[in-house]
Amino acid sequence: MNNHVTKLEYDVTINEASGPELHSEADVLKLAAAEMALGFVESGMLLGLGAGSTAHLAVRRLAEWLRLGRLRNIQGVPCSLETERLALSLGIPLTTLEAHLVLDLTIDGADEVDPQLDLIKGGGGALLREKIVAQASRREIIIVDESKLSPQLGTRWAVPVEVIPFGRGSQAAYLESLGAHIQPRQAADGSPYHTDQGNLILDCDFGPIPNPAALAGALGNRAGIVAHGLFIHLASDVIVAGLAGCRHLLRGAS
């Protein structure tokens, strides 16, 4: 797949998006992107259900469309325990990657998107499961508002790196050798944040990253690093909501 990005026409206006879950203008923008992404979902599909506040807007709207009969026979694979709880509370049928090795489509959010549609993800802490689900998906649709667009990954967001507790100090030293300024992630009570897998997250500020693929390789080859937030060549589509409407950016189109 090449890195050509096609910009399609605006076709969802912001005033079409509404709902009780909206608390800010940013939420309205994100819901507009979520509704456009759901337009690619067909009845009978296996869907990856993303993690984080933006993806949860899509999950809530998906549940509404299922109740209204706009979609039928959907099964979802959640990217986090929080998403699983939300989906179950909304009555969305769930399945697993053990039962279905390939998913038709995943809708998820991102923390930063570059012009090649490469991403930084993991602000919500579910980067490992999000990447597993993305890799299992035929199509990965990312929904963001314009504030998440960046000329270069690392300009606006640190790279989350998930490490096992054993040897975390050696991982921190390795990350610093790559140029990272590290901030161990904390839970709301100030204790170390633990992922759904019981691991730790080191938020690594590398500054603007000139070669994200090379950095991803350096991170991926290190024992003890379970996952990192660089999603390279995984997003097939990015839907960007702005005040003028939603843009659909498509990787690999001619």
Domain 159-226 bears CATH identifier 3.30.70.260: yes
The pLDDT assigned to 5 comes to 54
The pLDDT assigned to 253 comes to 57
The pLDDT assigned to 29 comes to 86
Q: Give the helix ranges, DSSP H, for the chain.
A: 25-38, 53-68, 81-89, 127-135, 168-177, 212-220
The pLDDT assigned to 28 comes to 86
| The CATH fold of domain 5-146+232-251 | Rossmann fold (3.40.50)
How far apart are alpha carbons 12 and 204 in whole angstroms? 36
What's the pTM?
A: 0.90
Please indicate whether residue 130 is annotated as part of the active site: yes
Per-residue pLDDT of the chain (254 residues; tens, 9 = 90+): 344 455 544 444 444 444 445 567 778 888 999 999 999 999 999 999 999 999 999 999 999 999 999 999 999 999 999 999 999 999 999 999 999 999 999 999 999 999 999 999 999 999 999 999 999 999 999 999 999 999 999 999 999 999 999 999 999 999 999 999 999 999 999 999 999 999 999 999 999 999 999 999 999 999 999 999 999 999 999 999 998 889 999 987 54
| Per-domain residue ranges of the chain | 5-146+232-251, 159-226
How far apart are alpha carbons 62 and 42 in whole angstroms? 11
The pLDDT assigned to 14 comes to 42
The pLDDT assigned to 27 comes to 82
The pLDDT assigned to 44 comes to 98
pLDDT tens column, 122-152: 999 999 999 999 999 999 999 999 999 999 9
The pLDDT assigned to 1 comes to 38
35, 84, 112, 130: the catalytic one is 130
How far apart are alpha carbons 133 and 113 in whole angstroms? 19
Which tokens is 38 given?
Answer: 């759901």
How far apart are alpha carbons 107 and 105 in whole angstroms? 7
The pLDDT assigned to 189 comes to 97
Count CA within 13 A, CB hemisphere, residue 34.
Answer: 30
pLDDT tens column, 224-242: 999 999 999 999 999 999 9
